[in-house]
Every structure is written in structure tokens, then in C-alpha cells.
Amino acid sequence: MKLLLDEMWTQVIAEQLRQRGHDVVAVVEREDLAGKSDRDILIAAQREQRVLVTDNEDDFCPIVAAELSRGHSHVGVIYTTRRRSSRHDAAIIGKMVTGLVKLLEADVDFSNQEHWLV
């Protein structure tokens, strides 16, 4: 499974996951994705066969639902808890890396699924 971290998450998480052998990129590392709309981010994740990791369920849930109702599929979305004030805190980054490693190593098929990582 490959991941795309939405722009609220630091590239440090992607770097740490890559060091563990996982294929993970962060939107903030990609000039072609930085500042794009949520729909464009979801389309990019689909095009690259990446599960999207975001805490923006308010925006993505309706977008995902609309895509599914049109008969379109997606690779999957992992929603994270909102921790806006501490996203760059080492403890939060560590928890994110640990949680995502567990999912990556479980090799779960997230096709057309939404998962909450809390």
C-alpha cells in the first residue's frame, strides 16, 4: 500500500515511513500538489494508487461519497484525529508513524473504504 499525506501533515512523517521501507509522500513535498483543491488531491491519490491520509473529514467525506455515487472508485482514505496545535510535535509525529506503520504492515485493502486512525 502506498500513502499520500494531505498538506496538514509534515513531510517528516513521510520521511520516517520511507526510512522504514514504505512508499509514502506528503503533499507538502510535491510542488504539483501543494495548494491544490481537496478534489484534486483525491484525484492525484487515485491516479498514483495511494491511500490518502488526512484529518479533513469534513471536506473529504462528501467528496468521496459523491465519487462513489457516480460509480467511481478510490484507493482509500485514512482519517486522522484533529490535532492542529501539535501536528509538528515529536510525540504526535511518533504516534502517527506508529499507527501508519501498523496499517501499512497489515497490508489491508482500503479500496473504496474509509478508515479512522485515532
pLDDT in tens, 7-59: 989 999 999 999 999 999 999 999 999 899 999 999 999 999 999 999 999 99
Alpha helices for 1-118 (secondary structure H): 11-19, 38-47, 57-69, 90-106
Integer Cα distance of 58 and 55 in angstroms: 9
Domains (ranges, CATH) in the chain? 2-117 (3.40.50)
Integer Cα distance of 82 and 117 in angstroms: 10
Supply the pTM of this predicted model: 0.91
pLDDT per position as a tens digit, 61-78: 999 999 889 988 889 999
**∠ CA 13-76-61, rounded to 5°:** 100
In the structure grid, which three cell numbers stand for residue 109, read together?
485493502
Integer Cα distance of 41 and 47 in angstroms: 10
